[in-house]
Amino acid sequence: MVHKKLALVTGANGHLGNNLVRFLIDKGIPVRASVRYLKNKEPFLGLDCEVVQADITDKKSLVSALQGVETFYAVGAAFKLWAKDPKKEIYDVNLEGTKLQIEAAAEAGVKRIVYVSSIAALDYSKLPTKESYGYNPDRRDMYYNSKNDGEILAFKLAKKHNIELVGVLPSGMIGSEAFAPLNVSYNIIYLILKKEIPVETNITMNWVDVKDVAKGCYLAATKGRSGERYILANEKCMSLRETTKIAQELYPELKIKLPTSIPKSILFTVAWLMEIGSKISGKAPLLTTKDIAMFSGLQQDFDISKARTELGFDPKSPKQVVIEAIKYLQENRTRFR
């Protein structure tokens, strides 16, 4: 039997997943939260929801978690831009995860899926970019490839199994409640506070409040048209220099310096050395040569009129989002050490 309005959120201990669980609970919607490992209870303390184990690469666990679910928020994915074996650890996990989540939903009789894709799955050749321009033709990054190919596969499988599926494409989510380890985007703000971004890379970020994205996911579930994709981002991006300036003004006592501009050739050398270090340590480098090649100078500006008009999506301004994120991280620094 389908529980009236029961929602499942995969990846429920991640930044978006956890804030979405909180949003749905506040809306009075019964929530089942799935995580890969049940031992990490901290993100669910005091929350009125059922927590179950499910792995996006294990279909049986997904079918079990989806029993009685009306709306499935497919949030769970490998969200990292670097791995020792990116094809295996990022691309294969995300493609397999997409396939199994939709097949499991079909088996469990789920009627509607909100599939969390990414602005990585957009074509940036014409700005501001919009949903109708199609997919990203740049194939240099395995995470980006996984989001493009994963979203295409999601729509195809949903159609095959006759399930309503709405795609949402968030940008750099920061702000609000978070638990270690911080996601890639939020960690950039943390690195600024720790004075660990010394050079200007000319890589911009499109900052969006994670709570706005959580609300956008709910709006996509209730108002989104099946088979459509919606950008959940802000119109304008922000440079790391501008982001750092906000931190400087908020906390002058930290004496945060603005990143120094250096020639691109030196940037490539620095990134190359960092990558060599990462091969030895197994830890993600702060910067890679591919990051510079793909993103340096890229303006991540979006036309979000479709999400505004059809969903009622109305995000906080990037500056406000950054201010709130910086304050949260500064006040909770000990949690992320």
Cα distance between residue 122 and residue 154, in whole Å: 15
- Closest by CA to 295, choosing from 177, 208, 152, 188, is 188
Higher pLDDT, 7 or 83: 7
Determine the average pLDDT of the residues in 301-307.
98
258 pLDDT exceeds 60? Answer: yes
pTM comes to: 0.95
Place 133 in a pLDDT band, splitting at 50, 70 and 90.
Answer: very high
Compute the distance between CA of residue 66 and CA of residue 135 in angstroms, rounded to an integer. 29
Instruction: Give me the DSSP letters along 181-245.
Output: SPPHHHHHHHHHHTT---EE---EE-EEEHHHHHHHHHHHHHHPPTT-EEEES-SS-EEHHHHHH
The CA-atom distances, in angstroms, between 12 and each of 9, 38, 110, 276, 282 are: 6, 11, 18, 34, 26
7-62 pLDDT per residue, tens: 999 999 999 999 999 999 999 999 999 999 999 889 999 999 999 999 999 999 99
Contact 15, 39 (CB under 8 A): no
Q: Is the pLDDT of residue 337 over 80?
A: no
**pLDDT greater than 90 at residue 283:** no
Strand 238-239 vs strand 204-205: parallel, antiparallel, or unpaired? antiparallel
pLDDT of residue 269: 92
What is the Cα–Cα distance from 282 to 254, expressed in whole angstroms?
31
What is the model's pLDDT at position 41? 87
Domains of the chain and CATH, by start: 7-179+207-235+299-336 (3.40.50.720)
pLDDT digits (tens, 9 = 90+) for 262-272: 888 999 998 99
pLDDT > 90 in the chain, percent:
81
Angstrom distance (rounded) from CA 77 to CA 331: 29
Q: What pLDDT sits at residue 1? A: 44
SS3 of residue 9 by DSSP: strand
Which residues contact residue 20 at a Cβ distance below 8 angstroms, ignoring those fewer than 6 apart? 9, 12, 73, 75, 214, 217, 218
- pLDDT score of 3: 52
What is the residue-averaged pLDDT of the chain?
94
Distinct helix (H) and strand (E) counts, the chain: 12, 13
- What is the share, in percent, of the chain residues with pLDDT greater than 70? 99
The per-residue pLDDT for 64 is 98
Going through 214-327 in order, the beta strands assigned E by DSSP cover 229-232, 238-239, 260-261
Which tens digit of pLDDT belongs to each residue from 143-199?
999 999 999 999 999 999 999 999 999 999 999 889 888 888 999 999 999 998 888
